[in-house]
Amino acid sequence: MNIENFYFPVEEQNIALSKNTPWIEEISGYKAIVAPNYTQDDNVISVVKDTYKLVRNRELIEPFMEEVSRLSVRWKIDPSHSFCQSNRMRLQITFPDILVKDQDSDIALSVYLHNSYDQSEGVRLFWGGIRGICSNGVVFGNLLGSFYARHTQGFSFENFYEEFGNASDKISDVQQQILLLQAKPVEQELMEELQKALGKRRMQEIVNTDKVPDKSQWDLLNDITYYISHDVVKAKRADLQIKLSKVYNL
């Protein structure tokens, strides 16, 4: 996967208010985040406070990839849940040899790197998995951990080697949770939590009913992750995956 498109130029510019008069009044306390020539119509991505620290995608991705390369394990840039827009990006790295399993498929460990230029999210790093049989993406933020930094603060991947080790050591916890979910039927309380988190109409579309489905909690989770990974645009998948992981305590 070529990630050069993640590195489009981004700049900070002062902003001003035009009053249809010969002069222009500068607005203090704010600045514009601009992507020159990113689109033909509008180069302004967002207007943010002066305290906002612009963290360019390149400034994140290159040191992150350096840390990943130190791990001495096989990895790949995974296009299945990676995307880049003018305001947001998500980059997925998958480790094909670090696996958990269910009755049908291997699930490879993945890590998702997030950034935004419009304050929709800070710098975020989530551990997750990608199901081999159908490329379903899932987040294991509760079980394996996550990282978050605001754009008004600094960030560093210096501890990523240790975090990777911790996540790898907890793979057995993920495997155990999968076995538990395979043995548990879907109950009304779980359905209500999923409907609240993901939306009642969306859940009805996924399971084709407004009743509790006669299947295991793991089977239902795979139905939902399949829907998110195949029927939801990439830029909106992460929010749903994170909500799902919280309901399932993954």
CB-side neighbour CA atoms (13 Å) of 8: 18
Exposure letters 34-60 (e unless 16+ CB within 10 A, then b):
bbeebeeeebebbebeeebeebbbeeb
Chain segment 206-227, per-residue pLDDT in tens: 999 878 999 999 999 999 999 9
Give the span between the Cα atoms of 167 and 164, in whole angstroms.
5
pTM of the model as a whole:
0.91
Which backbone phi and psi does 213 adopt, to 5 degrees?
Answer: -70, 150
Contacts (Cβ under 8 Å, ≥6 apart) of 163: 145, 147
Closest by Cα among 115, 117, 100 to 47 = 117
Chain segment 45-104, per-residue pLDDT in tens: 999 999 899 999 999 999 999 999 999 899 999 999 999 999 999 999 999 999 999 888
Q: Per this entry, what is the length of the chain? A: 250
Give the span between the Cα atoms of 14 and 93, in whole angstroms.
36
| Average pLDDT of every residue of the chain | 90
Give the span between the Cα atoms of 210 and 201, in whole angstroms.
9
Domain spans, the chain: 4-49, 57-171, 178-248
| Dihedral, 126, 130, 134, 136 alpha carbons, nearest 10 | -20
Which amino acid is present at 162?
Answer: E
Residue 148: predicted pLDDT:
82
CA angle 165, 140, 87 (to 5 degrees): 100
Answer whether 15's CB lies under 8 Å from 47's CB. yes
* Band of residue 21 on the pLDDT scale cut at 50, 70, 90: low
Residue owning tokens 């827009």: 85
* Encoded tokens for 215: 């299947």
Give the span between the Cα atoms of 218 and 178, in whole angstroms.
7
* Band of residue 24 on the pLDDT scale cut at 50, 70, 90: low
